Amino acid sequence: MPDLALAFAAFVLATVAAGLIRVAKGPTRADRMMAAQLFGTALASILLVLSWGLGQPGLVDVALVFAALAAITVVAFVRRAWW
Amino acid sequence: MVTSPTEGVAIALILAGGVFFFAGLVGLLRFPDVYARIHAVTKADTLGLGLVAVGIALVQPSPVHAARVLLVWGLAALASGAGGHFLCRTAWLEEVELGNREAP
Amino acid sequence: MAAWWFDGIHVLSLIVLAWGTVSARDPFTGIVRYIAFGLLAALVWARLGAADLALAEAAIGAGLTGALLLSTLGRMGLRRASGRTDEALGPELLDPRGHRPSRRATPVVAFALAAGVGGAIAAASLSLLRTAGPGMGPAVAALQPASGIESGVAAVVLDFRAYDTLLEMAVLFAAVLAVWCLGTIRFRTPPWPTDPVLSSLSRTLSPFLILVAGYLLQAGLHGPGGGFQAGAVLGAAGVLWTLADRRALRLGERGAARTGLTVGLGSLIVAALVPTLAGRPLLTYAPGTAPGWAWVIELCIAISVGLTLTALFMGGLAEAPEEAGKELP
């Protein structure tokens, strides 16, 4: 069970890391801001899977906080654009 | 390894979620337009998280724990929906035209 | 086997993002990479099994510090050589005096310093791990029944080392005072119309954020969570409110807000002084009362930290109404 969870987590992490290419390349600022959105969602799912696979229920709370703050991060970015 | 049908369904849902994350990545890297890329990030990734959350909720010890897991998805869905709007508005205010492949 | 893949990709991403943060050519890109780095750092704590630290890192290190950095970036008044004030700064950026900041050698030096210090700490930790005993865990566990607080982390933060917590709250309080002395919020005229999605997001999300904060507060006494983490989530709700509603910027003038900023430090000072009335040293709770003190202190810390983070994000006290309308620098 831990192996499967870690393998899935590694896959999602690799996906997210590959998404950084767009953040680096992205011509517009909106492309770069997508990093916050992408990371928040993907890392929350990694934490949920790890909480089950590694048997640590506290990680669900961490995923909760990740999701709650994902909204704030994007809004803080975007607000600067129309300041 | 799989001890019950519920766990089997949960694992299937989690793997399906992973497929959607990969789809989101493909969209992010290959779509021609910033607006299309925003679609990929906000919709595919949130759906991936939703499938993972439902899968994990199925194996929680109690309904309260399951509700907590689904709350993660609810908050992320709110954040993605609003975030998609803000990202698009940022691109629009920078006067990125639809279909413009090499925006400034 | 899968663990090596996960940890390997994780560490590699951390190093690449760290280099990307210091070598970014404009501050905005650097901040984006820093936030991504912070989220991955929170994942490190989660992977090591320290859920309290992961919560704090996610809430404060990634989300709120990123928001604070962006708020600061907006105040720096950087502009392009063409004269346009623009957040999307590029190679031709200048500071307000018209000089271009030099940045060729700085990233390499910064990264080398960080890598050197980090490597030294890692080497020292690894050598300690080989020779050290079980650590502080058994010592804390032995003392916990006397204290009565279920969570080891909460027992250390609120009972055994409450003095450190008191000093931390004093530092936060001083930070707000310093920001209020140095910063002023200026309002643009005509005011920018608020995005309806932003105001409705704030209205929809705030109750959930308060719910999550309350949950973290009560969970903190017997598991991951606690006052700081709950306060950080409340701070996020405050930041959202500030961005959605311009009237929130006058928060610093309200007596209720000013009182709220002091209760965190105040509760710890009260907890320190009350035992002296009974003849005991500072911060030595009466036997059996520790969980009660812990609950009150956690609640006060959450309120104060939430208001503190919101005040720091706002960056100062609002200008007096008669000064409104003057040209922004």
Domains of chain B, by residue range, sit at 5-93
Would you say residue A26 has pLDDT above 50?
yes
Percent of chain C beyond pLDDT 70?
A: 85
Within 8 A of C208 by CB-CB distance, chain B residues are 71, 74-75, 78
Q: What is the pTM of this model?
A: 0.86
Would you say residue C86 has pLDDT above 80?
no
Residue in B22, B52, B103 closest to A49 by CB: B52
User: Tens of pLDDT along chain B (104 residues)?
Assistant: 567 888 889 999 999 999 999 999 998 888 888 888 888 889 999 999 999 999 999 998 899 999 999 999 999 999 899 889 988 887 887 766 666 555 44
Separation of first and last alpha carbons in chain C: 57
A31-66 tens-digit pLDDT: 888 888 888 899 999 999 999 988 888 899 999 998
- ipTM for the assembly: 0.91
Percent of chain C beyond pLDDT 90?
A: 22
| Torsion from C-alpha of C111, C117, C121, C123, nearest 10 degrees | 80
Radius of gyration of chain B (CA): 17
Rounded to the nearest angstrom, the minimum Cα separation between C197 and chain B is 7
Neighbours of C89 (CB within 10 A): 19
C51 compared with A23, residue with greater pLDDT: C51
Residue A24 contacts residue B74 (beta carbons within 8 Å): no
In chain B, which among 45-84 make CB contacts under 8 A with chain C? 71, 74-75, 78-79, 82
Residues β-bridged to residue C318: C185
Radius of gyration of chain A (CA): 15
Both tokens assigned to C283 = 């911060």
What's the one-letter identity of residue C168? Answer: E
Cβ-defined contact of A6 to C3 (cutoff 8 Å): yes
Domains of chain A, by residue range, sit at 2-81
Q: C55: closest CA among C228, C237, C218?
A: C228
Cβ-defined contact of C197 to B75 (cutoff 8 Å): no
Would you say residue C185 has pLDDT above 90?
no
